[in-house]
Structure 1
Amino acid sequence: TGHAPAERAVTARPGGDDPAASGWVLDGMQSAVPWAQAADRIAVPAHTADGRTVLALVDPGRAGVTLADQVSTNGERLAEVRLDGVRVETHEMIDAAGAWEWLRSLLTTGTCALALGLGERVLAMTAEYTGKREQFGFPVATFQAVAVQAADRYIDLRAMEVTLWQAAWRISTGAGGPLPPAGDIAVAKIWASDGVRRIVQTAQHLHGGFGADTDYPLHRFHAWAKQIELSLGPAAAHEAALGDLLADHPLS
């Protein structure tokens, strides 16, 4: 669900049980890793005994690595990656302070951009369909009940857009604000997760039975939207994170 931080699922021990050995030893499991089967390296966040998060670049063919096939909601190939005493050399580790947090910020903001693009396309499909579909001699888009729902989803899109650009701006410029950049990223993901879900649900509703036809692409967008909604944490997880930030940085 994204409520459990990915970096807590794997542990990293310097040198393993041999204090004279170099490198790190990884133990744990990561689920829903995209295209791990085809990757040359898998970026695995792991936590250390002293509370730091490091990023390991793991060869999927290395001893101790087990991949189990998984399939995402939209049919994308995923894998469960199990690590059992996997040794990683020092040059394959990124242990700079904040490296994982930076990467997670970029991935989350990129996911928000995917949600916005998907939502734009789905609302355009809906506008086109309701403009052509006639009932009682008029296009259904002219009915107030349809127009109001479409307008609400357009408002969602514009909120998704402005919060996405705010997060991207904070990351790229390092500009200050009342909260750390993580606050803007959380707001963007809340809007992206909730917004894209509402958009595809409304699109299905306004398409009627036609939206359930598997010869029409709307059902694929719906499945992809559900994956984006939950990827890197659903809205509820980011609301909790935002609440923690507000508690630590009270707004005056």
Structure 2
Amino acid sequence: MDFTFTEEQQAAVEAAQAVFSDVAPDGVPSPALAHGPVADDFDRPLWRTLADADLLGLPVPPEHGGAGLDPIALCLVLRESAKVLARVPLLETYAAAHTLRHHATADLRADILPQLATGDLVLTAATGGRTGHDPAELAVTARQDGTTWTLDGTHTAVPWAHTADRVLLPAHTPDGRTVLALVPCDRTGLTLGDQISTTGERHAEIRLDSVRAGARDILTDPAAWDTLRDLLTTGTCALALGLGARVLAMTSDYTGKREQFGHPLATFQAVAVQTADRFIDLRAMEATLWQAAWRLTTGAAGPLPPAGDIAVAKIWASEGVRRIVQTAQHLHGGFGADTDYPLHRYHAWAKQLELSLGPAAAHEEALGELLAAHPLS
């Protein structure tokens, strides 16, 4: 089996590295110093640069002005964005665009996807459900009346909702079906309550009170919710991988230069063993991520459905990124807690990624259920 990335995927990585090379992670607002949301908006200049580099159109098909690339390419770019803590709604826009590409009507695709490719339209996604613990698809009800739908309910912890143009959210119908609704964030009946994430970013509790949506803005394909959820989860793993890689590199650089008793810290056995263990974590995160992204891209058959590979990737991402930043803080000593040094920012982002879309234990339970249902069990 050939695990080499394609020329298109490698080109996407190179373009992303060129764009993100100018982003300084120590310029990211510090949650430790903020007395409220760290910023009211995402990094608009960076967003424009991503659009000019044709990186926002990666999931958009060529007929709508994009490149039509697959989830592997999207995860490669997300990995690079996390290395510099890029404050842009890239994950949510990628996941929403990929979902619309495969499940929206031709009319909706023609309206939305070209604007996504040029960066003129910003999407976010609501997957937290009512409390962050209940199934997200049960948080909102969707009732159809002819060509109009009415939405009622609440989604919590929605990123970038205050600055996005539209939100893609799951809802359930009276007969138990799950649909996705694409709703403008300024639609009558939709209100946003302020919430603050672990990173200090401004999130929102979205409340829908008899919000009206047209038929074309409702994705009724039963597979649409699975597509959105799976890419958001796999993309989160890609963010964790990029963040972990950058933090491990910072730790290696610091322990290689910092001396105690006349020798670099990296030469001490206790330090070397800890960093070696974290390197193993990183390689496991990488292997399981690409396995999950490959299953999403190819739809190839496996011993378990793609949800099994995604669960394994999220388990490793949650546990791995936590261990990597904890070891980094330990080996940096007091220097790691210095708010002038970016490590504490990476620590806050790592905790946010660890807990987003469910901690490792939730995915271990899901994986156990899949294994129990397997015929060979």
Q: TM-score range by the shorter chain?
A: over 0.9
Q: Which residue of 1 aligns with 2:354?
A: 229
Within the candidate set 147, 163, 168, 1:22 is matched to 147
- State whether structure 2 residue 137 is matched by structure 1 residue 7: yes
Structure 1, residues 83-137: CA drift from partner, whole Å, max 9, x if none?
1111111011111121011111111111100000000000000000011111111
Q: Which residue of 2 aligns with 1:95?
A: 220
Structure with the greater relative contact order (CA < 8 A, sep ≥ 6): 1 or 2? 1
Q: Which amino acid aligns with 1:108?
A: T
Once the two structures are TM-superposed, the CA of residue 3 in structure 1 deviates from its matched residue by 3.8
Look up the SS of the partner of 2:326 in the other structure.
Answer: helix
Q: Is the 8 A contact 2:159 2:203 kept in 1?
A: yes
Q: Which amino acid aligns with 2:275?
A: A
List runs of 5+ in structure 1 lacking aligned partners: 16-20
Q: Which residue of 2 aligns with 1:41?
A: 166
Structure showing greater Rg:
1
What is the identity percentage for the equivalent residue pairs of Structure 1 and Structure 2? 76
Within the candidate set 154, 169, 172, 2:279 is matched to 154
- Normalised by the length of structure 2, the TM-score is 0.64
> Which aligned pairs between 1:86-235 and structure 2 lie closer than 5 A?
86-235=211-360
State the aligned residue count.
Answer: 247
Q: Give the number of the structure whose residues are more often strand, by fraction.
A: 1
2 CA distance for matches of 1:43 and 1:77? 18
2 CA distance for matches of 1:124 and 1:2? 33
Q: Is the 8 A contact 2:282 2:320 kept in 1?
A: yes
Bigger mean CA offset, 21-30 vs 147-156: 21-30
- State whether structure 2 residue 195 is matched by structure 1 residue 70: yes
2 CA distance for matches of 1:249 and 1:2? 28
1 CA distance for matches of 2:228 and 2:156? 18
- Normalised by the length of structure 1, the TM-score is 0.95
Once the two structures are TM-superposed, the CA of residue 2 in structure 1 deviates from its matched residue by 5.0
Q: Judging changes above 3 Å, is the alpha-carbon distance between structure 1 residues 182 and 203 closer, same or farther for their aligned structure 2 residues?
A: same
Within the candidate set 242, 246, 249, 2:371 is matched to 246
List runs of 5+ in structure 2 lacking aligned partners: 1-130
2 CA distance for matches of 1:13 and 1:58? 15
Q: CA RMSD in A?
A: 1.2
Q: Which amino acid aligns with 1:94?
A: L
Once the two structures are TM-superposed, the CA of residue 63 in structure 1 deviates from its matched residue by 1.6
